[in-house]
Structure 1
């Protein structure tokens, strides 16, 4: 029952198709993720995972959300193919850099990231990933 609930929730995880520019796609994804991460279900899941007491739960969540993570990696890959980001960027590092503050803020600060914070994060990622 828990796995099915996680599966249902995981299907709601934000995904952005690589249809716009790197900046448009990244900004859209970041704002959707911030809204998603601020929800009570996602907060509870993040708290359980952060506690590290239930490795089977953590692995189940990671397995169920793998497709969403892969779609985020594809955004970076497509941007690299278009020459919008620097060659050789590690896809996982870019995505993890986006996700960490978006998940950490509601978890530890007990508040969602607001729109200016999300935009500042996106601006930082754009600056750091720019193709020169």
Structure 2
């Protein structure tokens, strides 16, 4: 079975046992995986995972038969922490989203994951992370798309480009300065994005 098939299979196995202890086990394994990633450890053993999660190795092998399946479980939980806001206004959406991203970017899991990817020592892990981020980034871009449809934001720039301008400085602060972006830095970034996306009705023909 290829990697995509294994991922789909792992997700199906867990979802069909939703609720109760099954959901508790899934959360425990996902959290344990993220704890290892926060330490910069991509290659941890099933024995270590079972001990940290407080579940049996048999359970892990049954629901997550490969290491990739375990990483998908943890990363899928991590990257979906930032729900895109929908306040009905572009300026408040941008500001709320920026503050959420700043907190997320400073999360130890995110900082360690970025460091692992920057080292290029685990190319398969890099691809896995990028794969998990694809639908998340698409969801983030919907903030811009909604604003354009409402007429709150200019359509001059692509949603992808606007999101990149907004989130990149907020991810850079933890990586380059070892700390979360300050409120002042967040507001400066928000101001830049709002200025760049301000509608220009006078130019309409």
Could you say which structure has the greater relative contact order, defined with CA pairs below 8 angstroms and 6 or more residues apart? Answer: 1
> Is contact 1:76–1:91 with CA below 8 Å preserved after alignment?
yes
> TM-score, normalization: structure 2?
0.60
Q: Which structure has the greater CA radius of gyration?
A: 2
Match of 1:76 in 2: 144
For 2:145 and 2:195, locate their aligned partners in 1 and report how far apart those are by CA, in whole Å.
17
For 1:131 and 1:52, locate their aligned partners in 2 and report how far apart those are by CA, in whole Å.
41
For 1:11 and 1:86, locate their aligned partners in 2 and report how far apart those are by CA, in whole Å.
27
> Is contact 2:85–2:96 with CA below 8 Å preserved after alignment?
no
> Is contact 1:17–1:71 with CA below 8 Å preserved after alignment?
no
Alignment: residue pair count: 131
* Secondary structure of 1:104's aligned partner: helix
**Are 1:126 and 2:194 matched, yes or no?**
yes
Q: CA RMSD in A?
A: 1.4
Match of 1:112 in 2: 180
> Is contact 1:34–1:113 with CA below 8 Å preserved after alignment?
yes
For 2:110 and 2:129, locate their aligned partners in 1 and report how far apart those are by CA, in whole Å.
11
For 1:11 and 1:92, locate their aligned partners in 2 and report how far apart those are by CA, in whole Å.
18
Q: Which runs of 5+ in 2 are unaligned?
A: 1-69, 201-205
Match of 1:24 in 2: 92
Q: Which runs of 5+ in 1 are unaligned?
A: none
**Are 1:34 and 2:34 matched, yes or no?**
no
**Are 1:92 and 2:160 matched, yes or no?**
yes
Q: For each residue in 1:82-112, what CA deviation from the matched residue of structure 2 results, as whole angstroms up to 9, or x when unmatched? A: 1111123111111111121111110111111
Question: Aligned-pair distance for 1:38?
Answer: 0.7
> TM-score, normalization: structure 1?
0.91
